[in-house]
Structure 1
Amino acid sequence: MTAVPPSPEIRAILNNAGELELAAVHAPDGAVIRVDLNAESPRMLCTQGQYLAPIQAPPGTRIRYRLFIGKKGLGEPETFVMPGIPDVPPIPSTLIPCTQNRDFLIYDWAARHEAVCRLVRKTQPELLFIGDSITHFWGGNPVDEPHRDILQKSPETWAACTEGMRAANLGFGYDRVENALWRLRHGELDGAASNAVCVVLIGTNNLAENTDEEILLGIRAVCGEIRNRLTGAFIILQGFYPRNSVREGTTERIAAINLRLKALASEQGFVYTEPGRLMTDESGRVPEELSADGLHPSAPGYERIASVLAPVIRRAAEERKNDAAKKPFLPSGVSVIEPPMEQSR
């Protein structure tokens, strides 16, 4: 009589720190656990984030998980509810660190995370770009798949912005604020210079899912994570780039968020800049020659972005050399550096 092999399963336990740990049992080679948080859909897709570390979430958070091989799910999704009395109101999703896999047809999120961690440990960068696909697809290391230049839209302008500095690209396609927060808490800053220049552009992918307040809370948390781990970091906070959207009021909403980001920078002592202003025409739309999809810059678009960012980064680099730990980055207060209006067309 032939023995029936045990069915694959996922075991879930809470560790001593109150984090959820998941382990695959009797799973075939190549199987991975994917998770999502508080999702309402009755089924899980392969685009959900991969389980990579113990999950930190507030009481009441519903965490679903399922085994996958490629795009095929094994078994049914299971749900674990974090114990305790839920916070009222619930913590917004932008403050719950988690992984994602939404751009799985273009690149491997988990593999890129590991590559970034290795790069940062090895090179101890003094310049970090932290963001989503706008940053990811610009240039620099790590390169996900060298044979696919779709992920390197303008390496020449990247080189202009990073000249003379050890740089790392911490941009991840389709990342939301909470995904960047997860990455920073799980090794992507480990080994970076404690006074690294950190260029932050994150949050545009949250526009459809979150309120302005939730997005701002998440960006504040990302910047706080940088400061906690790199105590002398110089943070350059970028305003949201414009986007051609069918959603009514998107332009006005981005403008309102940018005003709040500018205020956040002033409050926290960051440098604020809006290079995205150079991406629009007189009507306020992003022309096709600067962006094929109305959001992500083309090579000429990145050239305009670099014309604003490169001088800001050079100024920060000079302050590092002048022993910024002993004096303020901007002695007379935080300067808001914006592109000259006459160049914005």
Structure 2
Amino acid sequence: MTIRSPRLLILALSLSPLVCCGGESEPTGAAALPSRPLLDAPASGVQAPAAELTVPETAPTVLFMGDSIGAGLHLAEHQAFPALLQQRLSAAGLPFRLVNASESGRTAAGGAAAIDWSLRTKPDLVVIELGGNDGLRGIPVEETERNLRAMIAASRDAGARVLLLGVRLPPNYGEAAERFDALYPALAKELDVAFVPFFMEGVGGVPELNLADGLHPTAVGHERLADNVEPTLRELLEALPPD
């Protein structure tokens, strides 16, 4: 089973006994799903999914908290790197239930505001892919750090392990880029969380792997992102205790 958007996540949660009885309202703006036009056909060199994955009931749940890149903006849902990781690892004998709560335009503050609601899916592992919009908008690094810390703490309090995906700014951001880029490895080391140093490695700044806006990866670019994240995610899934 795959829940691929904030709107579907909210629908699924609204049907669960936990939420019906909890009395807590959803975070402001969480139901607003950005427009995501789907491609009519897969990009060259990218395979269409053979069929909907069948995930065993005992499989772990992986929650992705990301922005437009995690959401696969302007691509079909199966082409976004979270879905690619689910397809690959399921084929390798490591199936997991994917809850993709990524949302276009989301900042680290938006993730911190939505994390408690999203954690109602009871994930075993939370993948945090946030902060890029903070850096591009000039949000103070201290604010981004505070919100990433809050997400990590909330995830751990819920019993989930955490994978932090490192983000970097373009070098033309100068000193601001240096301060921003240093945040992720320092935070991962201090809090002892699993870490991918730069999940956009080999994709960011490569024109042929990005759409015309120069910011969002193509379907082939998402394949590269999955390449970057897969080894660490595989290790974490293998280390999860049996259900």
Unaligned runs of 5+ in 1: 1-51, 55-96, 108-121, 139-147, 281-285, 324-345
> Is 1:297 aligned to residue 217 of structure 2?
yes
CA contact (8 A) 2:85 2:230 kept: no
AA aligned opposite 2:225: I
> Is 1:234 aligned to residue 164 of structure 2?
no
Instruction: Name the SS for the 1:188 alignment partner.
Output: helix
Separation of aligned partners in 2, 1:127 and 1:104: 22
Fraction of identical pairs, as percent: 23
Separation of aligned partners in 1, 2:186 and 2:114: 25
Change (3 A) 1:256 1:166: same
Q: Deviations over 1:38-59 (max 9, x none)?
A: xxxxxxxxxxxxxx948xxxxx
What is the CA-CA distance between 1:102 and the residue it aligns to?
Answer: 8.1
Aligned to 2:100: 169
What is the CA-CA distance between 1:158 and the residue it aligns to?
Answer: 3.5
CA contact (8 A) 1:177 1:202 kept: yes
Separation of aligned partners in 1, 2:105 and 2:58: 26
Separation of aligned partners in 1, 2:206 and 2:203: 8
> Is 1:134 aligned to residue 57 of structure 2?
no
- Higher relative contact order, structure no. (Cα contacts within 8 Å, ≥ 6 residues apart): 2
Question: Between Structure 1 and Structure 2, whose CA radius of gyration is higher?
Answer: 1
> Is 1:225 aligned to residue 142 of structure 2?
no
Change (3 A) 1:157 1:105: closer
What is the CA-CA distance between 1:255 and the residue it aligns to?
Answer: 4.4
Aligned to 1:266: 189
Separation of aligned partners in 1, 2:58 and 2:98: 8
CA contact (8 A) 1:129 1:168 kept: yes
What is the CA-CA distance between 1:152 and the residue it aligns to?
Answer: 4.8
- The within-5 A match list for 1:322-337 is none
AA aligned opposite 2:156: R
Separation of aligned partners in 1, 2:174 and 2:214: 12
- The within-5 A match list for 1:65-84 is none
CA contact (8 A) 2:86 2:98 kept: no
- The within-5 A match list for 1:267-286 is 267-273=190-196, 274-280=198-204, 286=205
Unaligned runs of 5+ in 2: 1-23, 38-56
Change (3 A) 1:123 1:149: farther
CA contact (8 A) 1:242 1:251 kept: no
CA contact (8 A) 2:62 2:126 kept: yes
What is the CA-CA distance between 1:227 and the residue it aligns to?
Answer: 1.6
What is the CA-CA distance between 1:306 and the residue it aligns to?
Answer: 1.0
**TM-score (norm. length: structure 2):** 0.67
CA contact (8 A) 1:290 1:298 kept: yes
Change (3 A) 1:154 1:102: closer
CA contact (8 A) 1:200 1:236 kept: yes
Separation of aligned partners in 2, 1:127 and 1:298: 23
CA contact (8 A) 1:98 1:178 kept: no
Instruction: Name the SS for the 2:118 alignment partner.
Output: coil
Taking only aligned residues, the RMSD between alpha carbons, in angstroms, comes to 3.2
- Larger proportion of strand: 1
Aligned to 1:204: 132
CA contact (8 A) 1:123 1:166 kept: no
Aligned to 1:78: none
Separation of aligned partners in 1, 2:77 and 2:173: 26
